Each structure stands twice: as C-alpha cells, then as structure tokens.
Amino acid sequence: MPTPADIRKFALSLEGVSEIDHFARPAYRTAKRIFAVMRPDGLYLNVDDERKEFLFEADPRVFVKYMWGKRSNVIVQIDKIAKRELEALIREAYEKNRPPAKKAKAAPVKRKAPLRKTR
C-alpha cells in the first residue's frame, strides 16, 4: 500500500516537477500545471476524461468520482491500490500535463565567405 511519502518521492523524481501548497494540501506540478494533489480523501489526478471514465468503471471503490460543477475528477484511494499501479497513473497524469518538449535547434549551416571582387 503506497503512502503519501511514497507519492511525494515518486512525483518529485519526475523531470521538472515541483511541490507546491494547494489550499493547504501538497500538490505536484509541471511548469504547465498541477497534475496531482494529495487530499484527505485520496489522491486527485489530472487525467484525460476518457481515462477517468475507464477508471470509474474499472473499480469505483478505488477510483472515486468527485464532481466539481459539471466536471468529474478522479480521487484515487491510495490504501486500495498497488504502489506500481499508482506510480503508472501518476506518470500518466504527469505526461498529460507537462509542457511540450522543446524542439532541438538545428545547427547553423557554415557558409563560406563570399568571394570578393578584385580590381
């Protein structure tokens, strides 16, 4: 059974992740946005809507639907999930919310100096 300390350690091991305070709760974010928040009732993960629906149907005891207005959010019950499965879901949320990879700049083309006219 994973603990909040395990979640923190794994989330902070991902490239570019920082821990911030989000309404007195530890949250993990990329430069783009928050992807996970440790809440008293479980771990919020920012995943795609299709993935949320799959998780809700897969096991509603582990993946609890939490409504915020018309938007559903998934709260993972960390005491009911294996550590490896939770790490995979955290990585999925991280990948969805990380900034696009920067394209490598092409090396400048070296050109010969133009020939000078001689008189």
Q: Which CATH architecture has domain 4-97?
A: Alpha-Beta Complex (3.90)
With 0.75 as the threshold, say if the pTM is over it. Answer: yes
Residue-wise pLDDT for 87-98, tens only, equals: 999 999 999 999
Residue 29, SS3 per DSSP = strand
Question: What dihedral angle (degrees, nearest 10) is formed by the CA atoms of 49, 53, 55, 56?
Answer: 130
- Whether the CB-CB separation of 74 and 65 falls below 8 Å is answered with yes
pLDDT band (50, 70, 90) for residue 102? confident
pLDDT band (50, 70, 90) for residue 118? low
Judged against a pLDDT cut of 80, whether residue 86 lies above it is answered with yes
Residue 19, SS3 per DSSP = strand
- Separation of alpha carbons 25 and 39, rounded Å: 6
Run of H or E including 83: helix 83-97
Return the domain boundaries, the chain.
Answer: 4-97
